[in-house]
Amino acid sequence: MPQELKYRNAQLQDLPSIVAIYNSIVASRQVTADLEPVTVEQREGWFLEHRADTRPIWMIETGNRKTVGWISFGTFYGRPAYSKTAEISIYLHEDFRGKGIGFLALAHTIQTAPRLGIETLMGFIFEHNIPSINLFKKSGFQEWGNFPKIAELDGVKCTLTVMGKSLTPL
């Protein structure tokens, strides 16, 4: 595992790297509901919807600027009353998976989110993605619900689990 991780706001020139990391997991049918790899052009609108001050995309890098992965904060449900809630997504380069980096990235996200005006984080994770479910639980997220057999991946119906964490005292 890298000794030091750095987080920086993604720039448009990072989009090819973001897409390559994302596409490396599509075939696993474990992380995303996309069934085919996406293109940089297809993801450009998604990228431009993010704002560094409220809904950033962060690049995760080693101390020598090697890309480890990325994190995005997504708007939840698109209504003003939910503006303090964000969907979190973490994607790691295949060379860095299973090395504890996801835990460090999620911890950084939890610590930094309040500065972005975020009070609640949510993760939408396929029920069969046990490593991600365990990562979120280890980071203090709880299961807030699920959508039984809502997705179909290669003819298999899959359940989507909603993991949530409040960042403010109740």
- On whether residue 161 sits in a domain, the answer given is no
- On whether residue 163 sits in a domain, the answer given is no
Q: How far is CA 166 from the centre of its chain?
A: 17
Predicted confidence (pLDDT) per residue in 121-151, tens digit:
999 999 999 999 999 999 999 999 999 999 9
Predicted confidence (pLDDT) per residue in 67-100, tens digit:
999 999 999 998 999 999 999 999 999 999 889 9
21 sits in which H/E element: helix 15-26
- On whether residue 76 sits in a domain, the answer given is yes
Which domain, by its residues, includes 83?
Answer: 5-121
Number of separate domains in the chain: 1
In the β-sheet with 57-62, what is the strand arrangement from edge to edge?
Answer: 5-9, 57-62, 67-75, 85-92, 120-126, 156-166, 142-153
Contact by Cβ (8 Å): 108, 6: no
- On whether residue 146 sits in a domain, the answer given is no
Task: Please tell me the pTM assigned to this model.
Answer: 0.91
- On whether residue 40 sits in a domain, the answer given is yes
DSSP three-state, residue 88: strand
Residue type, 145: G
- On whether residue 108 sits in a domain, the answer given is yes
